[in-house]
Structure 1
């Protein structure tokens, strides 16, 4: 999704939809049918707002990578830890017990 262009167009369209729904509701009054269409329009608006929130996630799914600054790197030595380091620690191991 070309995020800003399509999302801006969706916002314009939902604005038009809300104006139409408001006009229909004022013309036909409070009835189950008008309440239903008002609720549907609000749900669509909420979905579009959610899409705004998820736009970055959609870009990541497409493979667009946002580079974030690299923080401080902490070197981890390859040498074995002193056995005293692990004293009084339960060894749960990997994969369970037999």
Structure 2
């Protein structure tokens, strides 16, 4: 989804899907299968709405793709024993076992 044209094409397809679902619903009525189709279509429409929000945030609607590489800070974990009061209010869940033992 890197250009406005691709987003426009996606919205045209979504409009077609809406028309098809509406047509199917009028033909088959309120059946469990039809409700599932309508629900699936609504989920797709919601996902496309979120895609539009993300596209605006990433400037994809102008064809500009920004890649951000975030390098997290490494946090050292000491090898020393913790003080016994560190574990004071923790329940013992027993030894860890693997289901593959």
Shorter-chain TM-score range: 0.5 to 0.7
Q: TM-score, normalised by structure 2?
A: 0.56
Residues of 2 paired with 1:22 and 1:50: CA distance? 22
Please name the residue that 2:24 is paired with. Answer: 24
Residues of 1 paired with 2:67 and 2:38: CA distance? 33
Pick aligned residue for 2:66 from 60, 67, 72? 60
Q: Which structure would you say has the larger Rg?
A: 1
Aligned length: 67
Question: Structure 1 residue 62: deviation in Å?
Answer: 7.6
Residues of 2 paired with 1:30 and 1:61: CA distance? 45
SS in 2 for 1:60: coil
Query: For each residue in 1:20-51, what CA deviation from the matched residue of structure 2 results, as whole angstroms up to 9, or x when unmatched?
Result: 01100110000111111111111111111111
SS in 1 for 2:67: helix
Structure 1 stretches of 4+ with a deviation exceeding 6 A read none
Which 5+ residue runs of structure 2 have no aligned equivalent? 70-75, 77-101
Q: Write 1 or 2 for the structure with the bigger share of helix.
A: 1
SS in 2 for 1:61: coil
Residues of 1 paired with 2:48 and 2:67: CA distance? 18
Q: TM-score, normalised by structure 1?
A: 0.57
